Amino acid sequence: MRLARLAICVTLGICLPANAHCSLALAADAGVESAAESSAAGAGGTPADSARSAFDIGQKALRAKDYAAAYLSLRNAAELGNAQAQTALGGMYLAGLGVGANDAEALGWFRKAAEQGDADAQVNLGLMYANGQGVARDDEAAVKWFRLAADMEDPAAQTNLGVMYLEGRGVEKDEAAAANLLRMAALHGEPQAQFNLGIMFLEGRGVEQSDAEAAQWFSRAAEYGNALAQYYLGVSYAEGRGVDRDDEQAHKWLTQAALQGLSLANDYLRAKASIGAKSGN
């Protein structure tokens, strides 16, 4: 299950969508058989087999939006140690799906899955530390978990770690390292990384300034529906920055950004309309 990731707000824009598969398992008391373990024994399969089966059932229930049933199945799988289920269960606690929202529970399940090497959980755990959600803000801990997932080439982790380098949060500020990480994520199709990389080329941060490169990355992110990228791409076309001036394309992308509620795009369109009206008089 992929929930919307938390977001780190930075001067470069909002980065890091994350698949909110989280983790926190309430450990059963020693000597007390959990319901999941009992089910596995009764079925004659191994705990891992039972956990996988419960996870699959939980995923089907999630797709059907039967959150109560999903919670029960995923909880069983998570208690049996299935990392994907632990991440998904953490996501349910984070979003309050099928269970009351509880950041501390989400954090715990994310941690269990992250310690098993689940990249989604590592990203989400890093985000919770970076945002101080369910735990005291700790940028160094955030960097640790982002780095582990980034080493597995997770695009969101690469994006998040790039932002941390860009802002000097939990690590020494290094715009060149940030640009390299963002480029890797952007090439994997991560829209937030594409947008941020576009801004870096526009401003010459960590890379050689290039309006053409900026427009290219804005275009890629805009196609994925990133409103800020649509706005910057529209402005690029309106002003002929990095692309040939094209009022039709400018209007198209600015309108798409405006339809997503981006006030910057609305303001720009109104200003252009006002100038056009004055010119016509």
Tens of pLDDT, residue by residue over 73-97, are: 999 999 999 999 999 999 999 999 9
90 within a domain of the structure (yes/no): yes
pLDDT exceeds 80 at position 6: no
In a domain, 272, yes or no: yes
Number of structural domains (the chain) is 2
Cα–Cα distance, 19 to 243 (Å, whole number): 34
More confident residue, 12 or 251: 251
Among the ranges given (10-19, 190-199, 205-214), the one the predictor scored with the smallest mean pLDDT: 10-19
How far apart (Å, rounded) are the C-alpha atoms in residues 204 and 55? 46
pLDDT confidence bin for 248, thresholds 50/70/90: very high
Q: Is residue 45 pLDDT above 80, yes or no?
A: no
pLDDT band at 273 (very low <50, low <70, confident <90, very high): confident
Residue 116, pLDDT score = 97
Same domain (yes/no): 126, 234: no
Per-residue pLDDT tens digits for 194-205: 999 999 999 999
What is the domain-level CATH number for residue 106? 1.25.40.10
Residue 109: what pLDDT?
97
For residue 250, which phi and psi values (nearest 5 degrees)?
-60, -50
48 with 109, same domain: the answer is yes
12 and 80 fall within a common domain:
yes
Q: How far apart are CA 134 and CA 131, in angstroms?
A: 9
- If asked whether residues 178 and 82 sit together in one domain, one would say yes
Tell me: do 56 and 158 sit in the same domain: yes
23-41: average pLDDT: 33
pTM score of the predicted model: 0.82
What is the pLDDT, as a whole number, of residue 35?
Answer: 42
133 and 47 inside one domain: yes
Task: Give a yes or no: residue 2 inside a domain.
Answer: no
Residues 261 and 127 in one domain: no
For residue 243, give its domain range: 210-281
